[in-house]
A and B are shown apart, each in its own frame.
Chain A
Amino acid sequence: MRRMRGGTLVAIAAAGVLALAACGGSGDSGAGNQDSGGGSDALKVGLAYDIGGRGDQSFNDSAARGLDKAKQEFGVDATELEATQGETDAQKEDRLRQLAENGFNPIIAVGFAYAGPVGAVAKDFPDVKFAIVDDFTEGVDTGPNIANLTFAEHEGSFLVGAAAALKSETGNVGFVGGVNTPLIQKFEAGYTAGVKAVDPDAKVQVKYLTQPPDFGGFNDPAKGETAANGMLDAGADVIYAAAGGSGSGVFRAAKEKGAYGIGVDSDQYNQPALADVKDVIMTSMVKNVDTAVYDFIKSVNDGQFQAGQQVYDLESGGVDYSTSGGMVDDIKAKLDEYKEKIISGEIEVPSTT
């Protein structure tokens, strides 16, 4: 409870500061607002993160990058709030309502956990534009003022699956999922399809670290390492870690046994926290949440808001595989061939297992 009240205070204080800043801005318009496109009324963007928030070196950070870029280019004002471990939907709803009542528009909710809350709050504030990242459920979080920014994770995962099969010498690869949710199953479906496209006889070992509602599997490197070791002992030599923060354990196990790991969400080869294991991260399934967030803010800024689902897929560059480290250079031609086939529709990647 105390935390909630703290959050409210912070929000009010932040809103106050922003209001003051806005006053200040209009006072010396020419000088301060040069980069905001001619001193027009800057957007007030409210952004609600899922658990982890800014600094999680993954999904939320990617959203933050998109916001930062928009801040730079359009000079938008922004307030960022973040979810706490084990909170209820009601708390998420409060958070969004607070932002809306304080005049923030547009409001971006990061993560499928906001599906219900966004749907509820958006109804009460028809003039506010909402965006939700990673969810599109008809009737739950759809409406004339909601944009659903979703990704074709299965398509990106197909490519890294193909890469895994091409690199594997044992014909045996692994998939470590953080938590057994429909979203992560989408990664698994694409990955398995990619592996089988290259080598129909290959074996894919699958393990989810925890079952919902226990979301600890995204945050437990020790469990990731144990699961990966089990797969390596059973003959796998490439493992895809779609497990958020638990991925570092997977990479450590791979490094110890001379195998490869595949990263997720951002180009994990370049993450400073993983510097000591980066030489086994042969590629990553990149999910450009920043592009989606930036595009959404831009669309509102330009007065071209679009409601409904917007899929960021291979074609639009919303998902892709990374090449940092040069470990997939030798198979790049083949991967790009698959990529073309997916974009042209020749290969249809399944999104459910």
Chain B
Amino acid sequence: MSASGLDVGSEQITAPPRQRRRMSPVVYLYIAVGALLVVSLVRVLTGAGNLTSSGTVSAALIAAVPIALAGLGGLWSERAGVINIGLEGMMVLGTWGAGFAGYQWGPWAGVLLGVALGALGGLIHAVATVTFGVDHIISGVAITLMAPGVTLFLAKLYFTDAPGGGQKQSPPIDDVAHVSVPGLPSLLDSIERKGWFFVSDLAGLLRGLTTDVSLLTLLAVVLFVVTAYVLWRTPFGLRLRSCGESPPAAESLGVNVYKYKYAAIVTSGALAGLGGAILAVASSQFRDGQTGGRGYIGLASMIFGNWRPGGVAAGASLFGYTDAMQLRGEEAVHALLLLLGVALIVLAVVQVRARRYVVAGVATVLGIAFVLWFLFTDQVPAELVSATPYVVTLLVLSLAAQRLRVPKWIGQPYRRGQGT
């Protein structure tokens, strides 16, 4: 997981001018192997097995998926030029939908209703921002404020008398099926237990990724691939993105800007709703307030991920990984100080090669500070542990992602015929 987190870092940095932008898969592989080498070195030095244990990896996957889907939702909307700060609200709608349909007709029905309600939230946002030209932030905030109220009302209406339900929670929902790659788990398990340098870490990583994976997680992965393909490899995607860059130009070429924006925002809501539904199914029930700001974190991972699916996935994974680790055990957080320090120093070296000396300087200082912190303490104060995922994600992504490019027309209303 952290491997992919670090990739992004290096990808953004070593991706100087356009012609050299695309790196071959082999380079990515080297970066991944290098990152894992660093992680396993830190693991061996500190003895914090949780850094690469399969338990951490699979918990990270579960934690990352709702955030990643919210981020992906944000990407669809913002690529079409509409800021979607209502992601959190659309996720909340998704959690309720999963609770309502999930306990009656099974988890997949719950997921469907969650997606539908999320899409409905997106539709409201689209009507407000595209048709009526309401400020994007205002509409989004309104949806985020409204959604918990609406779902609480609906929960009181439908869950109070349901068996095992309550005014603030749905009855239990069954989980969807989990799958494993046949034969692999036991083999990897035995390798992981050996504690060998690198090999066991790789086994832990692979085992976490191939054992007991929810079908909903696989669905999320597929949606990332589909998004990357649709938005960057099809005429539809090109037109949609053109609405986010320059709607007058798009319209002059015959693109129906309103239609594309509607499609983008409704898809955005549907993805956020799916994220919420997956969260509810993974928690086995809808609870009031269970999203806990995951929509906003998704939005942040999209921005640091440079409005690209790979970036969103990496940001969400990094957050999920560190969050899972801090929840699973506090010793690992202490080891993370060293890991973070080393990662920042590596980042600094890469930034020097890209001739960004100020960033490199900041990264070096912070990196050394973290290493010293690691060396002179035995543990991280409990009050700071919960902040780990925020701090790590912020530091790594903000220092790595230095060449963010916002879709040009973002946040501005566009009226039909405005450009002529």
Contact = CB atoms under 8 A, between A and B. Distances in A.
Contacts of B167: 53-56
Contacts of A227: 327-328
A233 interface: yes
B327 A245 contact: no
Contact of A275 (B50, B164, B292, B328): B164
A273 B329 CA distance: 28
A227 B59 CA distance: 9
Contacts of B59: 226, 229-230
Contacts of B172: 273, 275-276
Interface stretch (B26-34, B80-88, B264-272, B278-286): B278-286
A221 B166 contact: no
Contacts of A249: 283-284
Nearest to A52: B168
Nearest to B66: A222
Given A221-B284, A273-B165, A273-B172, A85 B148 contact: yes
Nearest to B282: A222
Interface string A202-226: 0001011111001010011111011
Nearest to A271: B164
A245 B53 contact: no
B386 A210 contact: yes
A275 B171 CA distance: 10
B65 to A, nearest CB: 10
Contact of A219 (B56, B287, B323, B328): B287
A210 B288 CA distance: 17
Contacts of B293: 216
Nearest to B332: A230
Instruction: Give chain B's interface residue range (CB within 8 Å of chain A).
Output: 35 or more
A252 B289 CA distance: 20
A56 B148 CA distance: 16
Contacts of B168: 52-53, 55-56, 245
For B59, B283, B323, B329, the residue with the greatest tally of chain A CB atoms inside 10 Å of its CB is B283
Contacts of B387: 211
Interface in A331-350: none
Interface string A263-278: 0000000001111100
Interface string B348-390: 0000000000000000000000000000000000110011000
A248 B171 CA distance: 12
A226 B169 contact: no
B139 to A, nearest CB: 17
B313 interface: no
B164 A272 contact: yes
Contacts of B56: 230
A4 interface: no
A230 B383 contact: no
- Across the A-B interface, give the 10 residue pairs with the lowest CB-CB distance, nearest first: A230-B328, A55-B167, A216-B292, A221-B283, A272-B164, A273-B164, A226-B327, A227-B327, A55-B166, A222-B283
Given A214-B386, A226-B62, 13 more contacts: A55-B156, A56-B167, A57-B166, A209-B327, A211-B386, A214-B292, A216-B293, A222-B63, A226-B59, A230-B327, A231-B329, A245-B169, A273-B285
Interface of B: 50, 53, 55-56, 59, 62-63, 148-149, 156, 160, 163-169, 171-172, 279, 282-285, 287-290, 292-293, 323-324, 327-330, 382-383, 386-387
